[in-house]
Amino acid sequence: MKKTITIKDIAERLKVSVATVSRALRGSQEIKPETKEAVLKMAKDLDYHPNLLASSLSSKRSKIIGVVVPTINRFFWSNSIAGIENVAYTENYKVMIFQSSESYQKEIEIVETLANSRVDGIIIAFSKETENFDHIQRVIERDIPVILFERVTEEINTWKIQTDDFWGAKEITGHLIQQNRKKIAHIGGPLTLEVCRKRLEGYRSALLEHGIQPNPAWEVVLDDFSFEQAGEKMEQLWATPEKPDAIFCFADIIAIGAQHAALKMGISVPKQLAIAGFGNDITSRYLSPALTTMSQPSFEMGKTAATMLLDSIQQPEKKLDYKCISVKPTLVIREST
């Protein structure tokens, strides 16, 4: 085991103090250029590597932000993260990514770990199971800024950014109605999530506004974001006495599964059945028929979230003007409707 080189080693060889070395390494102003150069050179010669733990421990800043998402396995989330990283890196922050796998328990653990690792801030999208938000409140009380991302809650008072789900759902349902569909079904997500409730409400609102009475048999809800379950629900809907002529799905992944099942059952899309999704996943336009959906600016949303977080880290006093940003998605009409 090679001895690890520390600033002390550099200091000794250069016959200066560790304080000077520390300053030089961090590019402090109050240091003579020659000293600085000498330190930098010696650091290189000795193959010095700073210990970030020690540094964060004593400075109380880690230059790391933590991101918690339900899964990195879906386009919306991974692309949001890309947006977050994009701004974080320009400000020299590193991004630590964690996934809760839709588990409340794991989410709590992650948040705790993040806080205990003294990250400078957290951006979080709740798991589908999360109904209690004490773990977040505790973090905020520890003076770690938290941004709620997409899957938010009204119970916590902090910065938030989310899609205008009600509006978006209403918009795309309206589009279906304009296509002369009257029997519109909805496959939704778990109603623990505000997002899911909003989309359901938006869907209903569009129907009512056009004088269509929502049919409870056509409102089904998944507890799992999988292709398979979407397929099952599709079959279930098609088995209702009066078959629907359109389906608005909570998310593209659901729509893809539903459409696949529909085609398998010999249903013609969009002729017999129009299908719409939400999220504009990268693959949606490569389906046949290509999927009509609401496009969410996930990359931009990530950027905004990161900007908000860095602002709040850098100016803690701004704390009181919490902002809640709502982003309107845009309708992308393709072949499935």
The one among 40, 82, 156, 221 contacting its own copies by CB under 8 A = 82
- Binding flag, residue 41, DNA (CB under 7 A): no
Which entry of DNA, its own copies, none binds 32, CB below 5 to 8 A by partner kind? DNA
Cα angle 100, 222, 205 (rounded to 5 degrees) comes to 110
Q: How far is the CB of 133 from its own copies (least distance, A)?
A: 17
Q: How far is the CB of 128 from its own copies (least distance, A)?
A: 16
d(CA 294, CA 168): 7
Q: Which are the contacts of 103, defined by CB distance < 8 A and separation ≥ 6?
A: 127, 129
The one among 40, 50, 104, 212 contacting DNA by CB under 7 A = 50
- Binding flag, residue 104, its own copies (CB under 8 A): no
> Which sign does the torsion angle of CA 221, 330, 247, 249 carry?
negative
- Binding flag, residue 99, its own copies (CB under 8 A): yes
- Binding flag, residue 117, DNA (CB under 7 A): no
Q: Which two three-digit tokens encode residue 92? A: 């020299």
d(CA 283, CA 163): 20
d(CA 25, CA 40): 7
Rank residues 64 and 246 by Cβ distance to its own copies and give the closer one. 64
Which entry of its own copies, DNA, none binds 329, CB below 5 to 8 A by partner kind? none
Amino acid at position 57, single letter: L
The one among 1, 2, 15, 266 contacting DNA by CB under 7 A = 15
Rank residues 144 and 172 by Cβ distance to DNA and give the closer one. 144
Cα angle 150, 306, 89 (rounded to 5 degrees) comes to 140
- Binding flag, residue 124, its own copies (CB under 8 A): no
Residue 331: enclosing H or E segment and its boundaries? strand 330-332
d(CA 156, CA 35): 50
Which entry of its own copies, DNA, none binds 15, CB below 5 to 8 A by partner kind? DNA
Peptide bond into 297 cis (omega under 30): no
Residues lying near its own copies in the complex (CB under 8 A) are found at: 1-2, 4, 47, 49-54, 56-57, 62, 71-73, 75, 78-79, 81-82, 85, 89, 94-99, 101, 106, 110, 112-113, 115-118, 138, 141-143, 227, 256-257, 259-260, 263, 282-283, 286-288
